[in-house]
Chain A
Amino acid sequence: MIAIIDYQAGNLTSVQRALAFLGHDSVITHDPARVLAAERVIFPGVGAAGKAMFDLRRLGMDRALLASYDAGKPILGICLGTQIILERSEENDTPCIGLIKGEVRRFPENLTEDEGRRLKVPHMGWNGIQLKQDHVLFRGIDPDSEFYFVHAYYPSPSRAETVLGKTHYGFSFASVLFSRNLVAVQFHPEKSGRPGLKFLSNFCFWEGKEHA
C-alpha cells in the first residue's frame, strides 16, 4: 500500500487519482502509524511552509517520515513536500525536516529569461529537466519531456551530490533531489501528462535503491 501523507496542505486527491488510473491503491492519511506500515510513501503538498511544518509536527508526521527514510522505504516528495525535506525555508522563515542539506529560497524579483523577457513569479507552467545522471524513476521518459510546475520558492541544496536534475527559469535551480531511497521533485507528476504518469508508475515499482 502507498501512503499519501495528509497534513491539510492542499488538495491531495489528484495524486491519488493518478495512482488509481495507473492501477495502484493508495491511502491518504494523517495517521503516522499508517505511514510506518506502508510499503512506500508520497509526501505531496500545496501551501505555505510555515503552516505545513506546524501541522506535520502536531501530527507526528515529521518523525514518521524520518523513520520511513531510515527504514529504506521508497519516498517521493512533491512540490511543497520536496521543499520541507530541506533544512530551512525562507517562506515564513521556517525550520524544516532536514533530510537533505540546504534551504529553500524565493525566486528573486526582476527575474529575466535569457532573451530579456521579464519572468513572472510564481514559476507556473511546463518546463524541462536536465538530468545529471540516469535514475530508475526517469526510465522510459523522453529527455525532452516537460513537467508542470507551480511554485514561488525553489530548493537550493548545499551539496551537489543530492541534485539529480535541474530546471531553467532565469537561472538553473535544482528541480529533482535525491538521497538513497528518497526522490523529491519540484514539479507535479500527477499533473504532467504522460511523462508524469510514467514517473509515478516508475515510483510505484521502485525498490528504493539509487542504482537498480
Chain B
Amino acid sequence: MLSRRIIPCLDVRDGKLTKGIKFKGNVDIGDPVEMASFYYEEGADELVFYDITASSEKRDIMIETVRRVAEKIFIPFSVGGGIRSVEDMRLVLLAGAEKVSINSAAIRDPGLIERGAEAFGSQAIVLGMDVKQVSPSPKIPSGYEMVIDGGRTPARIDALAWAKEGERLGAGEICLNSIDADGTKEGYELNLTRLIASHVRIPVIASGGAGRAEHLFQVLTRGLADAALIASVTHFGLLSIRELKSYLHDKGIKVRMNW
C-alpha cells in the first residue's frame, strides 16, 4: 500500500537556505546541501527546493546547488522558482532533480506545462499553486483565487478551474500552497486542499501552515492530500521527521517508517 509522503521544503536564496514567514522577513538558516543530507538521513520521503532568488543572473548558483544535492541524496526532489522555459527545466533536470515546479510562469504561459510534459513526461512537471481565499464571484466561483509573484499579485483566475486545467495540460502533480495559512503554523487550509484534491486525479501535495503533527494528520485525512509539505516545524528542530511519522503511523496513516 502506498505511503503518504512527508516532504520538507527548503527555500533557497543566493544559494542559502531561508524560511519566510508569509513570504516576508526571511532569515538565513543554513546550507541547502547540508540540510538536504540531514533530511535524507532523517527519513524525508522527498524534498522540494524553492529558489526565491529568481533573478536570472544567479541561476547558475541554483544549478550548482542542485548538482551537489544530487550527488549526495538518493530520494526524489523537485526544484521550483524562476523556471520559465523548457530549457530552464532541462538544466535543472539534467543537474539531477526529479521534477520541476512551475508556478507564476505557468499562469503567464499555460503552454509551458504542455511543452514540459511533452519533453520530460508528466511525472517531471509539478504545478505549483499559490492560492488566496476571496469572496466567491462570477470570475472566482470557488472563492479561491490564484496569486502570482510570491503571493503579491492576484491573477484573477479561479484556483479550482486552474487545477483542472493544469491536469489537462499534463502536470503530473500539484503542490498546493495556501498563502493565508503559510507561515502561521496554525494548520493547513483543509477546505482548499479537500476541494482541489477531490477534483483532480493527480496527486496533491498540501503546503502552508504546518506547525504540529496533528496538522499533518488533518490534511492527510480530512484534506485528502497525498503528501504534506513541511518547513518551520522541522527546520527549527521543533519536531523530527521520525516523530511526525510515528505520530501519523500510530493514528493509522500509512507512512514510510523504515529507511
Q: Which residues of A contact B (CB under 8 A)?
A: 10-11, 13-14, 17-18, 20-21, 46-48, 109, 113-114, 119-128, 142, 144-146, 148-150, 168-169, 188, 190-197
CA distance A145 to B120 in the complex (A): 29
Q: How far is the CB of B71 from chain A (nearest CB, A)?
A: 6
Q: Indicate which residue in B1, B93, B226 contacts A127 across the interface (CB closer than 8 Å).
A: B1
Q: List 12 A-B contacts (CB under 8 A).
A: A14-B98, A17-B70, A18-B74, A21-B74, A46-B124, A109-B201, A113-B1, A113-B2, A124-B173, A142-B258, A146-B256, A168-B1
- Asked whether, in the complex, the Cβ of A126 is within 8 Å of the Cβ of B96, the reply is no
Q: How far is the CB of A95 from chain B (nearest CB, A)?
A: 21
Q: How far is the CB of A8 from chain B (nearest CB, A)?
A: 11
Judged by a CB distance under 8 angstroms, whether B30 is at the interface is no
Given A11-B93, A123-B2, CB of A148 within 8 Å of CB of B120: no
- Asked whether, in the complex, the Cβ of B2 is within 8 Å of the Cβ of A148, the reply is no
- Asked whether, in the complex, the Cβ of B74 is within 8 Å of the Cβ of A126, the reply is no
Q: Indicate which residue in A46, A126, A142, A193 contacts B5 across the interface (CB closer than 8 Å).
A: A126
Q: Indicate which residue in A14, A120, A146, A191 contacts B226 across the interface (CB closer than 8 Å).
A: A120
User: Which residues of chain A come closer than 8 Å to B256, judged between CB atoms?
Assistant: 126, 146
- Asked whether, in the complex, the Cβ of B74 is within 8 Å of the Cβ of A196, the reply is yes
- Asked whether, in the complex, the Cβ of A192 is within 8 Å of the Cβ of B74, the reply is yes
**Which single residue of chain B is at the shortest CB-CB distance from A20?**
B71
CA distance A126 to B203 in the complex (A): 13
User: Which residues of chain B come closer than 8 Å to A124, judged between CB atoms?
Assistant: 123, 172-173, 203, 226
Q: How far is the CB of B56 from chain A (nearest CB, A)?
A: 23
Interface of B is mostly: loop
Q: Which residues of B contact A (CB under 8 A)?
A: 1-5, 40, 45, 70-72, 74-76, 93-94, 96, 98, 120-124, 172-173, 201-203, 226-227, 256-259
- Asked whether, in the complex, the Cβ of A169 is within 8 Å of the Cβ of B2, the reply is yes
CA distance A123 to B201 in the complex (A): 11
Q: Tell me the total A-B contact number using a CB cutoff of 8 A.
A: 99
Q: How far is the CB of B195 from chain A (nearest CB, A)?
A: 15
User: Which residues of chain B come closer than 8 Å to A123, judged between CB atoms?
Assistant: 2
User: Which residues of chain A come closer than 8 Å to B201, judged between CB atoms?
Assistant: 109, 120-121
Given A13-B96, A47-B121, A150-B123, CB of A120 within 8 Å of CB of B203: yes
Q: How far is the CB of B87 from chain A (nearest CB, A)?
A: 15
Q: Indicate which residue in A127, A145, A188, A195 contacts B2 across the interface (CB closer than 8 Å).
A: A127
User: Which residues of chain B come closer than 8 Å to A191, judged between CB atoms?
Assistant: 74-76, 98
CA distance A122 to B123 in the complex (A): 8
CA distance A192 to B259 in the complex (A): 9
CA distance A121 to B29 in the complex (A): 37
Contacts beyond the supplied A21-B74, A113-B1, A125-B3: 12 A-B pairs with Cβ under 8 Å: A11-B94, A17-B71, A47-B121, A119-B2, A122-B123, A124-B123, A148-B75, A148-B76, A169-B1, A169-B2, A191-B76, A196-B74
